Amino acid sequence: MTDKIFRVNMSTLTTSVEEVPAEWAGHGGRGLTSTIVAAEVNPTCHPLGSANKLVIAPGLLSGTVAANSGRISIGAKSPLTGTIKESNAGGTAAQLLARAGCKAIIIEGVPGEDKWYSLALTPEGITINEETELIGKGNFEVLSVLDSRLEGKQAVLTIGQAGEMRLAAANISIKDPDGGLRSSGRGGLGAVMGSKKIKFITIDPKDGKVAIADPDKFKQANRVFAKALVDHPISQGLGQYGTNVLVNIINEAGGLPTRNFTSGQFDGHEAISGETMHDTILERGGKVKHNCHAGCVIQCSQVYHDAKKEKLTSGFEYESIWAMGADCCVDNLDHIAEADRIMDDIGIDTIETSVAMGVAMEGGVLEFGDGAGVCRILKEEVASGSALGRIIGNGAGAVGRAFGLTRVPVVKNQAIPAYDPRAIKGIGITYATSTQGADHTMGYTIATNILNVGGNVDPLTKEGQVELSRNLQVATAAIDSTGMCLFIAFAALDNETCLPALVDMLNARFDLNLTGDDVVSLGQSILKTERAFNSAAGFTAADDRLPEFFYTEPLPPHNTVFDFSDEEIATFWDF
C-alpha cells in the first residue's frame, strides 16, 4: 500500500485522499509537517484563522517494528510563538496512522457554523462527524466515553477545554497503550485544532500494515539498533528513574531554574527528584517503567500513584516536575502530580502553564510554594476559562504582560524549560536560535554540557557552544523525521553502530541508498525550511535573543550571565 495524504477541509466539510507529491515523498514526521506548512500556509496568516493548517504526520519508520519509532509530529503556525511549529509526542497515533496508509493528515479551513466535530480515519478515508456529547469535557472523559463508543484498539487525539477555548498553551493529547495520555505539548497546537472545531480524531487502521521493501535487512538493522539502545547505560537509568533523574544533577550543576529563574538551585530538590519519585512509586505500587508506545525499549515513562495507592498520573516528566516544582518552589511531589493530571485533563502544556504560574507568583497572584493553590487555580480558573485562567492559559509571556513584569522567561513568547541558560550556555544558544521558540528538545546540549554524552563542553564558558547547538539541532531535525524518540540520541552519540543501523532501516523500508551525510543534509534543509517560513512571517535575527534579564541578572550559585553577543549568536546560521 502506498501512503496517501488525507486532506480535510473544515470550511466546506469535505475530505479527500490524495497521492503524495514527489517532493514530499522522502519526508516524514517533522520534515514533512514543516515542509507542508511551509508550502501551504501563508506565513503571515492568523494562527487561529482559516488560512492556518494543522498537519499530523507519523515518522518515516513509524508503524514498523523498529524500536522506539512510534513518535508523531504535529505541525502548524503556532498561536503561541507565531513561528512554524512541530510538536512531537508518543502514544499510539503514529503507528496506527502509518498502518492506515496515511503519510499525513492536513486539516484546513474553519467551519462556518458554530458546531463541533470529530474526525474518523480509516485506510479508506476520513469522515467528519458532528460532536455534541463531549464538548466542554476534559481529556480523560473523552477517552473513557470513546472507549465504549469505538470498536477495537483505535488511536485517539483529543483536545480538552484549553483547546476548545483556543488558549495559546493548549496541547493535543494522544492516547497511550494503557489509556493514559501523551501530549503534543508545546506551541499551542491544541488551540489550532480548537479553532477548526475538532474535538477529537480517531484512527482505525483495520488490518493495514506498513510495507517494507527489504524485510530481512530491516529486521537485521533493527536488531543492531535496539541492542545499541538497550545497552546504553543512560537508557537503563531512564527506565529506572524516568527523565526526572535530572532534577538532582541539574541542581548540582547550578542550572535548575528556581523561583521564577532567580536561582540555579532549589532547596527542595531532593523531595522532587527522580530518586524520591522512584521510591514513592515502588512504595505505592505504581509502575516504575512504562512505555508511551509499543516497541519502546527504553521505557522512560511511569505510572505514579497517590498516597491511597490509586493512579494519579503517568508520563511524569522532568520538565513538568521542574516547572511546577523548582520554578514555583513547590517541594511536594503529590501536588505536582495532581497538577500534572489536571493539566493533562484540561489539555494544556505542563511546561508553558507551570512557567506561567511561576511568573504569576512573582506577580503576586499566589505565593511561591503554594502547590495546593496551583491545583486550585488550574481547576477553578483555567479549566473554567475565567479571566485569570485565560491569562495563565495563554502562557508565561501573557502573564508577564498582564502583570507588568520584566523577569519573563520566554523566547519568541514560548516558555524557557528546565535548564538555565546562564549556567548551561549551550542550551541558551538552542533557545535563542531554535525555529520554534525556547525548546530544549530542539538541540539538547545538556547531553554534552552536563551529562558527558558525546564528549564534554564546559557549560559555563562560551567556547564550542554554538557549534554544539548547531550539530544537535541538525541531527534532531533529522531524528524527528524518522518517528524515533529523541532518547535514541544518547546511544547515537556514544555508540557508532546506532546511527548506521537507523539509516539501514530507512533504506530497507523505502529501498533507498541513503548515507549518514544524507541524514545531515536532511536535518539542515528542515531547519532552513523552517527558518524561511519564520522570516516570511516577519521574524529577524533580533528575535534570536534571550530576554534581557538573562544578560543582566547573575544566577547563583555560579553568578554568571548569558553573555553571547548578537554576532556570536548569528553565527549559528552559518551552514
Partner 1 sequence: MRVTIKLFAYFRDSRFKAENREIPDGTTVGEIVDSLGIDREEVGVLMINSRHAAFDSVLEENCMLAIFPMIGGG
Closest approach of Cβ 300 to ligand SF4, in Å?
3
Residues 520 and 478 sit within 8 Å (Cβ to Cβ) = yes
- H helices within 150-267, ranges in order? 161-164, 189-195, 215-231, 233-241, 246-252
CA atoms within 13 A on the CB side of 380: 6
- Interface segment toward ligand SF4; rule CB under 6 A; list 4-12, 106-114, 294-302, 376-384: 294-302
Rounded to whole angstroms, the Cα distance separating 18 from 27 reads 16
- Interface segment toward ligand SF4; rule CB under 6 A; list 93-101, 120-128, 266-274, 297-305: 297-305
Closest approach of Cβ 27 to partner 1, in Å?
24
38-43 long-range contacts (CB < 8 A, ≥24 apart) are 38/84, 38/529, 38/530, 38/532, 38/533, 40/106, 40/108, 41/76, 41/77, 41/533, 43/77, 43/84, 43/533, 43/534, 43/536, 43/537, 43/538
Helix (H) or strand (E) holding 146: helix 139-149
Rounded to whole angstroms, the Cα distance separating 357 from 20 reads 43
Q: Does 549 bind ligand SF4 (CB under 6 A)?
A: no
Closest approach of Cβ 482 to ligand SF4, in Å?
12
Copy the grid coordinates of residue 420.
538555565
Rounded to whole angstroms, the Cα distance separating 488 from 362 reads 38
427's contact among partner 1, ligand SF4, none, with CB below 5 to 8 A by partner kind, is none
Task: Give the DSSP letter of residue 153.
Answer: S
SS (H, E, C) 23-82: HHCCCCHHHHHHHHHHHHCCCCCCCCCCCCEEEEEECCCCCCCCCCCCCEEEEEECCCCC
Task: Give the DSSP letter of residue 571.
Answer: G
Contact positions with ligand SF4 (CB under 6 A) in 42-101? 68, 90
Given the complex with ligand SF4, which of 296 and 438 has the nearer CB atom? 296
Name 560's bridge partners: 555
Residues 467 and 108 sit within 8 Å (Cβ to Cβ) = no
Q: Does 296 bind ligand SF4 (CB under 6 A)?
A: yes
Contact positions with ligand SF4 (CB under 6 A) in 395-414? none
Given the complex with ligand SF4, which of 6 and 322 has the nearer CB atom? 322
C-alpha triplet 527, 82, 7: angle, nearest 5°: 75
Closest approach of Cβ 354 to partner 1, in Å?
17
490's contact among ligand SF4, partner 1, none, with CB below 5 to 8 A by partner kind, is partner 1
452's contact among partner 1, ligand SF4, none, with CB below 5 to 8 A by partner kind, is partner 1
Closest approach of Cβ 299 to ligand SF4, in Å?
5
Given the complex with ligand SF4, which of 97 and 300 has the nearer CB atom? 300
User: In Å, what is the CA distance from 413 to each residue of 43, 145, 421, 477?
Assistant: 17, 35, 16, 21
292's contact among partner 1, ligand SF4, none, with CB below 5 to 8 A by partner kind, is ligand SF4
274's contact among ligand SF4, partner 1, none, with CB below 5 to 8 A by partner kind, is partner 1
Please work out the total of residues on this chain that contact ligand SF4, with binding judged by CB under 6 A: 12
245's contact among partner 1, ligand SF4, none, with CB below 5 to 8 A by partner kind, is partner 1
Contact positions with ligand SF4 (CB under 6 A) in 472-501? 485, 487
Binds ligand SF4 by CB under 6 A, chosen from 174, 226, 247, 298: 298
382's contact among ligand SF4, partner 1, none, with CB below 5 to 8 A by partner kind, is none
Strands 102-108 vs 4-9: parallel, antiparallel or unpaired: parallel
162's contact among partner 1, ligand SF4, none, with CB below 5 to 8 A by partner kind, is none
Given the complex with ligand SF4, which of 319 and 544 has the nearer CB atom? 319
Task: Give the DSSP letter of residue 170.
Answer: B
User: In Å, what is the CA distance from 74 to each residue of 39, 106, 200, 472, 531?
Assistant: 15, 10, 14, 21, 17
Q: Does 523 bind ligand SF4 (CB under 6 A)?
A: no
241's contact among ligand SF4, partner 1, none, with CB below 5 to 8 A by partner kind, is partner 1
Q: Does 299 bind ligand SF4 (CB under 6 A)?
A: yes
Copy the grid coordinates of residue 474.
541538525
Residues of the chain by 3-state class (helix, strand, coil), percent to 5 = 45, 15, 40
Mask 254-293, x = binds ligand SF4 (CB under 6 A)? -------------------------------------xxx
Given the complex with ligand SF4, which of 70 and 138 has the nearer CB atom? 70
Q: Does 183 bind ligand SF4 (CB under 6 A)?
A: no
- Interface segment toward ligand SF4; rule CB under 6 A; list 277-285, 295-303, 343-351, 362-370: 295-303
Task: Give the DSSP letter of residue 233.
Answer: H
Q: Does 519 bind ligand SF4 (CB under 6 A)?
A: no
- Interface segment toward ligand SF4; rule CB under 6 A; list 207-215, 275-283, 299-307, 489-497: 299-307
Sheet order of strands, 14-18 included: 14-18, 4-9, 102-108, 53-58, 72-77, 84-89
252's contact among partner 1, ligand SF4, none, with CB below 5 to 8 A by partner kind, is partner 1
348's contact among partner 1, ligand SF4, none, with CB below 5 to 8 A by partner kind, is none
Closest approach of Cβ 291 to ligand SF4, in Å?
4
Name 198's bridge partners: 117
Closest approach of Cβ 427 to partner 1, in Å?
10
Given the complex with ligand SF4, which of 57 and 298 has the nearer CB atom? 298
296's contact among partner 1, ligand SF4, none, with CB below 5 to 8 A by partner kind, is ligand SF4
Contact positions vs partner 1 (CB under 8 A): 232-234, 237-238, 240-246, 248-249, 252-254, 270, 274-275, 300, 318, 440-441, 444, 446-447, 450-453, 456, 458-460, 486-487, 490, 557-558
Given the complex with ligand SF4, which of 291 and 449 has the nearer CB atom? 291
Cell 514555583 belongs to 328
Residues 433 and 569 sit within 8 Å (Cβ to Cβ) = yes
The pair phi, psi for residue 56, each rounded to 5°, is: -125, 120
CA nearest to 91, candidates 208, 172, 160, 150: 172
Residues that bind ligand SF4 (CB under 6 A): 68, 90, 291-293, 296, 298-301, 485, 487
